[in-house]
Structure 1
Amino acid sequence: MRLRTKEYEAYLFILPALSMLIVILGFPFVMAILMSLNLAWVKSSLLGFTFENYSRLFRDRVFYNDLIVTLSFVLPTVGFHLLLGLGVALLLNMEIKARRFFRVVAILPWTIPDVIAGLIWRFMFDPLSGIVNSVLARLNLIQLPITWLSDARLALPSVVFAEVWRGYPFVMLLLLAGLQSIPQGLYEAAKIDGASAWKRFWHISLPNLSRIIMIAFTLDFIWECRRFGLVYNMTGGNPGHATEVLSLYVYKNFFIFFNFGYAAAIAVVLALIMMTLSFPYLKASMKEL
């Protein structure tokens, strides 16, 4: 009886936060679904709905192009976030001089808002006055200016590069916290047994970081699928649709073309894709509870 009472108390404690999540996340999602169905109301009576927006969506070549662009943007970005974040976390976990200073410097890109980061990199990639071409020219690596953001082959990799720089500190912070939670006695015992630095990483660090890596991957994947500000300010989806991610396509349909129902349908499908790809992590987490 006492255990059941404690369970009820626990549910009561999380009820306020759960209610806020339902209001902030659940209500807009339901409204997006209703908007995507083109509901027709007359005097508070529902006349009907239609799946025309979804039918149009699955016949839309631009949608499929933007879905491919989104995955081509998200997967490399998340992968490099994990690799770079892990590498920097390992370096900053070492006993080096000015370690606190380097930690602050490593976090700085993450403090810059998407919009500002997009503008910074747009100016840096400018073919005439950008610092990227200037440095490459001084090193005699290029003879003519490279149009990084105007070339369909280079625009998306350039955006990925900018987002990797801006977003890796989040993963780095999670992994650094995980590294610092590993008992140092494990490393000392392995070192006494003659284990090399690589073996200590492979058999001690990596297994202890596996859950944190999964959390970082899932959160980063969801956030990058929703990335808008940096892409919008760097390229606006140009040239053509070469860098147009789905979040940008939703924006254009809603605020430029005023296709509210169609924009809502794209947003719903994007949310379902993110939830589907995040389900394995959620399922694994539930098993551990």
Structure 2
Amino acid sequence: MRDRLFITTMLLPTVVLLLLFYGYPIFDNLKISFTDLSLLGMKRGGNWVGLANYRELFRSGDLGHILFNTFIWLTATSVILRLLIGLGIALLLNTRAMKLLRLAAVSRFALLIPWATPPIVAVVIWRFLLERNGAVNEALIKLGVVDHPIAFLADMRTVWPSLVAIMLWNTVPLIALSLLSSLQTVPDEYYEAAELDGATNWQKFRFVTLPFLMPAMLVLGLMSVFWSFNNFVYVWLATGAGPGTYTNVLATEVYLKAFIDFRLGYSSAIGMVMAVIMGAFGILYLRLVARQQLEETL
């Protein structure tokens, strides 16, 4: 009983701080989402409108397009490609050839450069590179791939692939290095036993490497969902949700409604919908981590 009381006493300040720093803003945002509060009328406050903001949101003709951009392009596409490319790089760095040539350490250092680059800086760099008179267009024209410059971030056919490419350049290195760490924990005896059984390289990857990597890939995948789903920086700085509203996502819609249309109540409703979705992913992530910890103790 005393031990439980002591633990509770020690944890209480942390719980109070968490409630103050996280609980209160969420509660306040929820309260605002039921009002028509405007950025121009902060002093007088907002009138209670109940679920009107939520009804307007779910009846909006733009919601389908915004959700498609958020779930398919910003989240699913970037997360899947991030994991696949990261896995490929990790496997390459873990090959015997890379170890014999002593290129693994140099490659790991090179990977740290894009990962350590702040997203704002990464977007600015790639905006210059992807301009009509930028280095990418110049290289493509010289190689004969295209005969005229492409407006990568202004053309609807290329804007989303370009945005995803920018995100991947900035975030894949962390995935690759994390998976490389997991690869290096696989005992060599497993590969030797597989070779004695006549396993091909594909069979060794499928039945030895992949089972060891799956727990890390699942956790990294869910973390990537968190990074991508509510991401604002890449989309806003690269395209401003354009051309038009073609690349508009939930995070940029919150900004547009709050600071362009001055509708804080409506933007808070969008924010709460995002919070519920992220909360569901958070529960899934915690359950996955708890299950992995349980398996490690058995």
What TM-score do the two structures reach when normalised by structure 2? 0.84
Structure 2 letter corresponding to 1:31: D
Equivalent of residue 161 in structure 1, options 165, 172, 195: 165
Structure 2 letter corresponding to 1:32: N
- Match for residue 89 of structure 1? 90
For 2:7 and 2:83, the matched residues in 1 are separated by 34
Instruction: For structure 1, list consecutive stretches of 5 or more residues without a partner in the other structure.
Output: 41-46
Instruction: For structure 2, list consecutive stretches of 5 or more residues without a partner in the other structure.
Output: 38-46
Decide whether aligned partners of structure 1 residues 183 and 27 sit closer, same or farther in structure 2, where only a CA change above 3 A counts.
farther
Structure 1 letter corresponding to 2:85: L
Equivalent of residue 134 in structure 2, options 130, 133, 136: 130
For 2:265 and 2:172, the matched residues in 1 are separated by 35
Equivalent of residue 175 in structure 1, options 165, 175, 179: 179
For residue 19 of structure 1, report the CA deviation from its aligned partner.
Answer: 5.0
- Match for residue 244 of structure 1? 248
SS in 1 for 2:157: helix
Decide whether aligned partners of structure 1 residues 189 and 34 sit closer, same or farther in structure 2, where only a CA change above 3 A counts.
same
- Match for residue 52 of structure 1? 52
SS in 2 for 1:230: helix
Equivalent of residue 23 in structure 2, options 22, 26, 50: 26
Pairing 1:140–2:144 present: yes
Bigger mean CA offset, 52-61 vs 87-96: 87-96
Structure 2 letter corresponding to 1:265: A
For 2:247 and 2:62, the matched residues in 1 are separated by 12
For 1:282 and 1:78, the matched residues in 2 are separated by 19
Structure 2 letter corresponding to 1:218: L
- Match for residue 44 of structure 1? none
Output one character per residue of 1:244-266: Cα deviation in whole Å (capped at 9) or x when no partner.
Answer: 11111111111222111111111
Contact 1:156 1:242 in 2 (8 A): no
Structure 2 letter corresponding to 1:100: A
- Match for residue 103 of structure 1? 108
For 1:249 and 1:184, the matched residues in 2 are separated by 50
For 1:193 and 1:101, the matched residues in 2 are separated by 35
- Match for residue 73 of structure 1? 74
Contact 1:39 1:50 in 2 (8 A): no
Output one character per residue of 1:128-158: Cα deviation in whole Å (capped at 9) or x when no partner.
Answer: x211111110101111111111111211111
Equivalent of residue 222 in structure 1, options 214, 226, 240: 226
For residue 174 of structure 1, report the CA deviation from its aligned partner.
Answer: 2.1
Number of residue equivalences? 279
Decide whether aligned partners of structure 1 residues 29 and 148 sit closer, same or farther in structure 2, where only a CA change above 3 A counts.
same
Note the aligned Cα RMSD (angstroms). 2.5
Residues 31-42 of structure 1 mapped to structure 2, 5 A cutoff: 31-38=28-35
For residue 49 of structure 1, report the CA deviation from its aligned partner.
Answer: 5.6
- Match for residue 43 of structure 2? none
SS in 2 for 1:181: coil
> In percent, how many aligned pairs have the same letter?
34
Decide whether aligned partners of structure 1 residues 277 and 181 sit closer, same or farther in structure 2, where only a CA change above 3 A counts.
same
- Match for residue 122 of structure 2? 117
Output one character per residue of 1:106-129: Cα deviation in whole Å (capped at 9) or x when no partner.
Answer: 1221111111111111111111x2
Decide whether aligned partners of structure 1 residues 229 and 191 sit closer, same or farther in structure 2, where only a CA change above 3 A counts.
same
For 1:13 and 1:131, the matched residues in 2 are separated by 57
Contact 2:219 2:289 in 1 (8 A): no
For 1:240 and 1:217, the matched residues in 2 are separated by 31
Contact 1:125 1:131 in 2 (8 A): yes
For 2:190 and 2:289, the matched residues in 1 are separated by 26
For 1:18 and 1:105, the matched residues in 2 are separated by 41
What TM-score do the two structures reach when normalised by structure 1? 0.87
Bigger mean CA offset, 252-261 vs 90-99: 90-99
Decide whether aligned partners of structure 1 residues 221 and 11 sit closer, same or farther in structure 2, where only a CA change above 3 A counts.
farther
Contact 2:130 2:136 in 1 (8 A): yes
For 1:197 and 1:19, the matched residues in 2 are separated by 54
Structure 2 letter corresponding to 1:105: A
For 1:267 and 1:66, the matched residues in 2 are separated by 14
